[in-house]
Amino acid sequence: MEQAAVEMLQQPGSIELIAILYASLQFSGIVAAGHAIFNARSAQGATAWAIALIAAPIAALPFYLVFGRNRFVGYVDARRSADTRHSWIANQARNVCNAFRSELQDRGGRLRSLERLAHLPFTYANRVDLLVDGQVAFAAMFDAIRRAEKYVLIQFFIVRNDDLGEKLKALLIEKARAGIRIYFLYDELGSNRLSNKFVRQCREAGIRIEPFRSSKGFTIRFQINFRNHRKTLIIDGDYAFLGGLNVGDEYLGKSSRFGPWRDTHVSVEGPAADAVQLIFTEDWHWATGETIENLDWQARPAPNSNADVLILPSGPADDYESCSLMFVQAIHSAEQRFWIASPYFVPNEEIIAALQLAGLRGVDVRILLPANPDHLMVYFASFAHMKATGSRGIRFYRYTEGFMHQKAFLIDDVAAGVGTANLDNRSFRLNFEITLLSTDRPFAAEVEAMFEQDFAKSLLVPHDDIDRRSLPFKIASAAARLMSPIL
């Protein structure tokens, strides 16, 4: 092999060709470094990328093509260039929500600014139900699908070919054969193990099932670091479900690796369901280029309930880091307490500052994390970030009875949120997420009781827990923290 290399270099023009290739690569690295300096969302990220791209372009360029993007290209353009019919549907949905616009009485008005992030209003006349863990949540969702009379819109980040996935498929096929229209969206990367057979059987039964691809066409073919992390279900435009659960047996606690699975979903009836439906139609339009016709946009008030609800979508196509700003505003609005559960704790500087200020002004800040990890890098990074928050008024808990995957938060006794967003940079910058935020006090009381039960099954750990760990653990934590922007 060495002899062959020598002979190749002895060929006329070989050295000149190598020099040209190296110079081109170095020039490409410099151009990419300039792009990073002008487009990275943080000074630290711009500096790190620029140094790597100039010093080692061979290694850094492929990573930058995949991980260097911080804006999702094409989604907004597709929305703006949508056909007239799709634009009419979007306007119709927003008109319905505006007709039920809430006045947000009392201290809930502190959250009004989040409407601008959502491009949707808080609506009244909703019913919100908390669904704790997979058995309860999937029983409610399966029952709602059985009662569907016109159509089902369903979207998950992960769909597996296991027992739960097969039961869902069988139910959807049964409804499709009964004349119910089914539109099924799954994330292409999150569901990369979903079999062709599963998809084929759905399509043969008349189900419209499509992947959400982050990369479409040549110009954005490397846009593979983004995910559609939303998990939603809409029934006839009247009911909607969202939360942390995906379609897999582990979400029912059947995994030998994770054991019991702690998660939270939520259902909503009323005009807020139309907001969830609008978000699904926009995801579907990106994925397929098509507009879903004949959806019900005539919102009906939920009987015997009047909860104020905001549906807040967020993602890398937004003008702002909507997800991060949502958490910052939620933390700043707290006066007595801010409790939050997330499987991952890899916050940005803005979140850390908001938590520190809340602790300093006497807010009871509690952060619930899993004791057992599913992603080691994220787990190691959390210890470094825990220490960075400081100890003033902030308490960390590790859930010990299985794996904790829920994404929920509580603001005083005023408001509560349940959704798909984690406290990490992937949710802040790279994932499409959705959150339900309600200022309904009975709902907030339910979330409070849920948190109390979770804290009773958790261990209180010091913010400087990492100082008690071994040197290899500390090194792993420090290295993982450096990877925080893409974790």
pLDDT in tens, 461-480: 988 888 888 888 888 888 87
Gap between the Cα atoms of 350 and 356, Å rounded: 10
Q: Are 223 and 317 in contact (CB under 8 A)?
A: no
Per mean pLDDT, which range of 35-44, 130-139, 294-303, 416-425 is the poorest? 35-44
The pair of three-digit structure tokens given for residue 412, joined into one six-digit string:
């005083």
pTM of the model: 0.86
pLDDT tens for residues 373-426?
888 888 888 888 888 888 788 999 999 999 999 999 999 999 999 999 999 988
DSSP letter assigned to residue 302: P
Phi, psi dihedral angles at 369 (to 5 degrees)? -130, 160
Gap between the Cα atoms of 329 and 351, Å rounded: 10
CATH homologous superfamily of 322-486 equals Endonuclease Chain A (3.30.870.10)
Phi, psi dihedral angles at 291 (to 5 degrees)? -105, 130
DSSP letter assigned to residue 289: S
With b for 16 or more beta-carbon neighbours within 10 A and e for fewer, the 333-358 pattern comes to: bbeebbbbbbbbbbbbeebeebbbeb
Highest CATH level, class, for 75-102+125-305: alpha beta
Q: What is the DSSP string of 315-346?
A: -TTSSS-HHHHHHHHHHHH-SSEEEEE-S-EE
DSSP letter assigned to residue 68: S
- What are the angstrom distances between the C-alpha of 398 and each of 142, 246, 416? 32, 22, 21
Whose structure tokens read 């699908």? 145
Gap between the Cα atoms of 276 and 232, Å rounded: 8
**Strand, coil or helix: 270:** coil
pLDDT tens for residues 209-246?
999 986 554 444 444 567 899 999 999 999 999 999 99
- What are the angstrom distances between the C-alpha of 61 and each of 24, 28, 53, 441? 12, 8, 6, 51
> Looking at this protein, which amino acid is placed at residue 186?
Y
Which uninterrupted H or E stretch holds 459? strand 458-461
Does 486 score more than 60 pLDDT? Answer: no
Burial class (CB in 10 A: 0-12, 13-18, 19+), 173: middle
> Looking at this protein, which amino acid is placed at residue 383?
F
The pair of three-digit structure tokens given for residue 344, joined into one six-digit string:
């991952």
Does 8 score more than 70 pLDDT? Answer: no
Residues serving a catalytic function are 229, 231, 236, 405, 407, 412
Confidence of residue 275 (pLDDT cuts 50, 70, 90): very high
Whose structure tokens read 């100039």? 54
Gap between the Cα atoms of 98 and 131, Å rounded: 27
Domain with CATH 3.30.870.10 in the chain: 75-102+125-305, 322-486
Q: What is the pLDDT of residue 480?
A: 77
431-438 vs 307-314, strand pairing mode: antiparallel
The pair of three-digit structure tokens given for residue 282, joined into one six-digit string:
């926009």
Phi, psi dihedral angles at 137 (to 5 degrees)? -65, -45
Phi, psi dihedral angles at 217 (to 5 degrees)? 85, 170
> Looking at this protein, which amino acid is placed at residue 329?
Q
Q: What is the pLDDT of residue 63?
A: 60
Phi, psi dihedral angles at 315 (to 5 degrees)? 175, 175
415-419 vs 345-346, strand pairing mode: unpaired
